Amino acid sequence: MRYAERPSMHREIQVAADPSRIWECVADVEAMAGWSPELVRVEWRDGANGPAEGASYVGHNEHPTIGSWRTLAHVTACVADRTLTWCVLDVEGRYGPASEDPAQPMATWSFDITPAPGGAVLRQTVTLGPGPSGLTAY
């Protein structure tokens, strides 16, 4: 598969919890800094204090091999207890021209929650591109 074809992958897990409880976890964007090997801090922009369609945040990232950098994430879909989707942008021009255009993300991430007997199915999806990232030659 080629990067230009916007490769994606997903994982699903059955969770023995109410969809609203699962939502509390996946919608806690600041907590992701504690789970991620790279994201260390989230800074909401323009008065936002949590996910909502149209909200954005700066992600402060660190990795021992490649250093520190910032990204900009735009929330593109947010339906409580159902879905959270955001696209990640290269605002520092680390992999090509700097961009704040949600139509040119490095990646798009989402969580989808589907009620199921005994709880819900949680699906996480990532789609790469079309904007350049650390996986593209520049």
Q: What is the rounded distance in angstroms from the CA atom of residue 42 to the CA atom of residue 28? A: 11
Percent of the chain predicted with pLDDT > 70: 98
Mind listing the pLDDT tens digit for each residue in 40-99? 999 999 999 899 999 999 999 999 998 999 999 999 999 999 999 999 999 999 988 999
Task: Give residue 6's pLDDT band: very low, low, confident or very high (50, 70, 90).
Answer: confident
The predicted model scores a pTM of 0.91
Task: Give residue 2's pLDDT band: very low, low, confident or very high (50, 70, 90).
Answer: confident
Whose structure tokens read 């819900």?
120
Domains assigned to the chain: 3-128 (3.30.530.20)
DSSP label at 17? Answer: S
Q: What is the rounded distance in angstroms from the CA atom of residue 35 to the CA atom of residue 64? A: 16
Is residue 50 classed as helix, strand or coil in its secondary structure?
Answer: coil
17: Cβ–Cβ under 8 A, 6 or more apart, which residues?
119, 120
Task: Give residue 134's pLDDT band: very low, low, confident or very high (50, 70, 90).
Answer: confident
